[in-house]
Structure 1
Amino acid sequence: MSRHGRRTFLKLSGGVLGGIFAGTTVTAAERTDRFIVETKGEETPTDLEVVFDLSEIGYAVVRAGESELERSKSVKSFAPDIELEGADPSVESRAYEGDPENDEFYSFQWDKQALDVPTAHETTRGEGTRVAIIDSGVDASHPDLEVNTDISQDFTRDGLGAGVPGGGDHGTHVAGIAAAQTDGTTGVAGTAPATDLVDFRVFSDFGGTNGAFSIVVAAVLAAANADCDVANLSLGAYPIPREGLGSFYGGFLNKAMTYANKEGTLLVIAAGNDSADLQHDKNLISLPNEGAQALSVAATGPIGFADALVAGEDLESPPKSPAFYTNYGTNAVDLGAPGGDVDTSLTDPVDGVPAYAYDFVFNTVTTVLTDDDGNYAGSVPGYGWKAGTSMAAPNVAGAAALVKSANPDYNANQIESALERAAEVPDDYDKTYYGSGFLSVVDAL
């Protein structure tokens, strides 16, 4: 039996990882009460307390001490689980404070305009598909979101259940970009509004397991087993020493991602917000977007959309231009997609909002309420702006659902291939920011 203790963990994490939500600096903590174990064969350990049965790939997550693991006849090797705690995952975020009953919000959605989503919806709106959002939780009470709460799961086990923004509003924004409803006169549009939207929550601000390595992997397997055509992961960790990939954690992650791909689930993953050249970062790697079978998404965005919206002025930079913060790199990025850009010098207010916020992605958000003791007390749905590769990924996830809807027999690789064949690198821009090119939803159908 082999064990991977604190020394291996510190080599893997460096003590601090760059963002379990893509681009966020977080602190990594080694769990001493919960371990990831590679089992002998594919049988679930019967002599240990199993938290997650991952026998599909020959692993389990258990609650035990090291001495118990050493004695167990079913354990081949083990390592401590890693729990990550971070702050707001987006590069920038701003709430909308107007009245949604009196506003038509599509005019704010430069991302859907750049992708010509209305034309794509003439072919399909994502009927017959299923998209999982592996994130901080999707607020099922939001009027612009229809969440399949029967299939949704809370992997944090904080007692709040699924369909709840128990880890913040990031997941609600991501979900809206992918699948906000389009059947009303107010609100926002999602790329695939008719898809079956599933919430797989892996973050908790209320005492649950928060962003642990094991529960992200468990959610990936759950998405595959729930027949999700696409799983969106607007999360990640960077930098991780590349030499750690050959060890326990890298093998665990890659087996799960390969399993999901074989089961037909396309993994769409944010490339990260570190402005890093992932192709030339020597012994470093970004996960899970550089893991097996990932479709890694970089972010683009305009500069000057507020002035274009209210005064008809020309944009300083077009929606297809790379965002300043996005990670990039040949073979490390597969597609570029709208995620928003940031120029905080544009401070003049437009309808009470700084002009620079309009260059972010506008969609569904929610305000989490707490009682006097800090317990979860509900949420207030709303709308707002965020920027990041976290926002670019669900634009691709929604597009993938449209491709699957139009081509029901496609497997995960064929969906990705259709998206990549349709994409083109914009003139005068560097391929390293786009992989195959900028997302073209209409041409991919």
Structure 2
Amino acid sequence: MNFGRRTFIKGAAGIGVTATITGTASAAAGDAQYIVRATGNGTRDAVVDAGFSVRHELAEGSVLVVTGPADASADLESIGGVSAANPDVTVELDQPDVDAEVESDDLPSDDAAFTDLQWDKQTTDVFEAHEYATGEGTRVAIVDTGIDLNHPDLGNVNEDLGRAFVTNDDVPEIGPDDSGYHGTHVAGTVGATGEVGFVGTAPDTELIPVRVFPAEGGATFGDILAGIDYAAEIGADAANFSLGIPGVQEPGSALNKLKAEVQTVFQSAVRRGTVITGSAGNDSGSLQGSGFTLPNSVPAAFTVSATSPADTLSFYSNFGTSDIDIAAPGGYYETVERTLGVTGEPDDIPFPLNAVVSTWPTDLKSEIGLPGYDAIAGTSMAAPQVAGLAALVRELEPNANASRIEQAIQKGAEGANGKSSSEFGAGIINALNTVERLATKNGKK
């Protein structure tokens, strides 16, 4: 395989995936879409009686996603039971543009063909952790672009529970199937079965595809929140949200105006037992500031920074004291030069395999020459490592609430003193440490 420096630099700006705010949301009929904060059981009916349509009723009725005429926020706020109404926001995925030039009783990892490429599972001792737990009896929702329903390593996808929440769906016929590639890669990191090539952190979990993106264009925040709410509704043990919004959204910005509603939906999901794992974002920047960042500013989200094969902070990963909860492998090294092999150590993993290799839609080209698998780096790849670990913890502690699951993961982490590391939060996840601690506590070791 021959990947040149030119190729890498071309793609460096779009590493992994970050959600970019592209404007306000509108429905297919041309109506504007709003996020409404409701304060009363009759608010939904009152909104409908006023001539608006309600697409989603979230967080047990306290947040509504509403469509109607443009510039109607004031009209909505005049309705009894509505305390706030703001235009919804559309986000698009920044696609990585790496135009590479390519020349029994067994544990799940024993027979999979390509586990030697899974440095991310090796550095976090995932394969050894499978002696204690594999995610059996758990469920993880992938709130993303969908999941390839025909991938041989994703036979644990529950298509019947899969949903598509897409305002302007240009491919409604595919349902929860993948409209791109991102969700399939994330799903494999969480729970690929190892039937053929790769093993996820929780290979026996049930994967639920929740598609919130069309094939072209952006997702509305209302649909993303609907996906999170649905994950809690179906009892998902974790919901992965690999859609970090770049930069600090200052007071008065479109997203900042939705802060209270985002928090309400996330907190409702966590109260119902769903751990929400979110990516810290790929801007190489500090998250400290007076504004709002997503998911980092939402206490209910478990925010994940990205680390390298050398357990250093990946050069693109955001950071920030009190904003990062935990760290996990996301790929690439702490500098572009080391990532590319210009500097580094003799045993460094070469580019692009120092990204995270995972499942890939079978009908798309693989840039690493393995059909059905490809390598991407980003905090998007770090968050699902934690979602899979949450499934292992829930298998061992089925009655644990979301907070206790997060605490167990943090206690098993390595490389940080306490929970205040600006780069790693409580540390870099270690699956074996985490499940061994629980097995010892429960008398199963």
Contact 1:53 1:60 in 2 (8 A): yes
Q: Could you tell me how far apart the structure 2 residues matched to 1:261 and 1:221 are?
A: 10
Greater mean deviation of Cα atoms: 246-255 or 168-177: 246-255
TM-fit CA distance, 1:93: 8.5
The yes-or-no answer on 1:190 pairing with 2:197 is no
Contact 1:147 1:197 in 2 (8 A): yes
TM-fit CA distance, 1:247: 6.3
- CA offsets, 1:23-63, max 9 Å, x none? 35553345352222223413323323221122614121122
Contact 1:149 1:162 in 2 (8 A): no
Greater mean deviation of Cα atoms: 120-129 or 155-164: 155-164
Q: Could you tell me how far apart the structure 2 residues matched to 1:105 and 1:93 are?
A: 23
3-state SS in 1 of match to 2:293: strand
Trace 1:42-441 onto structure 2 (pairs within 5 A). 42-43=41-42, 44-45=44-45, 46-47=48-49, 48-54=52-58, 56-66=60-70, 70=75, 73-74=79-80, 76=82, 77-88=84-95, 104-145=113-154, 146-156=156-166, 157-158=169-170, 159-166=172-179, 168-182=180-194, 184=195, 186-206=196-216, 210-244=218-252, 248-279=257-288, 282-302=289-309, 318=310, 320-342=311-333, 343=336, 345-346=340-341, 355-366=350-361, 382-425=372-415, 431-441=421-431
More strand by proportion, 1 or 2?
A: 1
- CA offsets, 1:323-375, max 9 Å, x none? 1111111111111111101545338xxxxxx9310100011011667xxxxxx
**CA distance 1:38–1:126, change in 2 (3 Å):** same
**CA distance 1:387–1:163, change in 2 (3 Å):** same
- CA offsets, 1:92-151, max 9 Å, x none? 686989xxxx99210111001111212111111101111010111111111110211111
3-state SS in 2 of match to 1:433: coil
Question: What are the ranges of 5 or more consecutive residues in structure 2 without an aligned counterpart?
Answer: 1-12, 104-110, 343-348, 365-369, 436-445
3-state SS in 1 of match to 2:403: helix
**CA distance 1:327–1:181, change in 2 (3 Å):** same
Question: What are the ranges of 5 or more consecutive residues in structure 1 without an aligned counterpart?
Answer: 1-17, 303-317, 348-353, 370-379
Which residue is 1:23 aligned to? 18
TM-score calculated relative to the size of structure 2: 0.78
TM-score calculated relative to the size of structure 1: 0.78
3-state SS in 2 of match to 1:257: helix
Contact 1:147 1:163 in 2 (8 A): no
Q: Could you tell me how far apart the structure 1 residues matched to 2:87 and 2:98 are?
A: 33
Contact 1:360 1:387 in 2 (8 A): yes
Structure 2 counterpart of 1:221, which letter? D
Q: Could you tell me how far apart the structure 2 residues matched to 1:274 and 1:263 are?
A: 32
Q: Could you tell me how far apart the structure 1 residues matched to 2:89 and 2:362 are?
A: 28
3-state SS in 2 of match to 1:332: coil
Q: Could you tell me how far apart the structure 2 residues matched to 1:267 and 1:92 are?
A: 29
Q: Could you tell me how far apart the structure 1 residues matched to 2:61 and 2:186 are?
A: 28
**CA distance 1:248–1:324, change in 2 (3 Å):** closer
Structure 2 counterpart of 1:37, which letter? V
TM-fit CA distance, 1:301: 1.1
Q: Could you tell me how far apart the structure 2 residues matched to 1:267 and 1:383 are?
A: 26
Which residue is 1:307 aligned to? none
Which residue is 2:35 aligned to? 36
Structure 2 counterpart of 1:163, which letter? P
- CA offsets, 1:401-444, max 9 Å, x none? 000001111110000000011112269xx932111011011111
Which residue is 1:306 aligned to? none
TM-fit CA distance, 1:236: 2.0
Contact 1:91 1:273 in 2 (8 A): no
Q: Could you tell me how far apart the structure 2 residues matched to 1:93 and 1:443 are?
A: 38
Q: Could you tell me how far apart the structure 1 residues matched to 2:362 and 2:392 are?
A: 30
Q: Could you tell me how far apart the structure 1 residues matched to 2:21 and 2:285 are?
A: 17
Please tell me the root mean square deviation across aligned C-alpha atoms, in Å.
3.1
TM-fit CA distance, 1:174: 0.3
3-state SS in 2 of match to 1:400: helix
Contact 2:25 2:33 in 1 (8 A): no
**CA distance 1:39–1:205, change in 2 (3 Å):** same
Q: Could you tell me how far apart the structure 1 residues matched to 2:350 and 2:70 are?
A: 55
Which residue is 1:3 aligned to? none
Structure 2 counterpart of 1:174, which letter? V
Percent identity for Structure 1 against Structure 2: 37
TM-fit CA distance, 1:160: 2.9
3-state SS in 1 of match to 2:267: helix
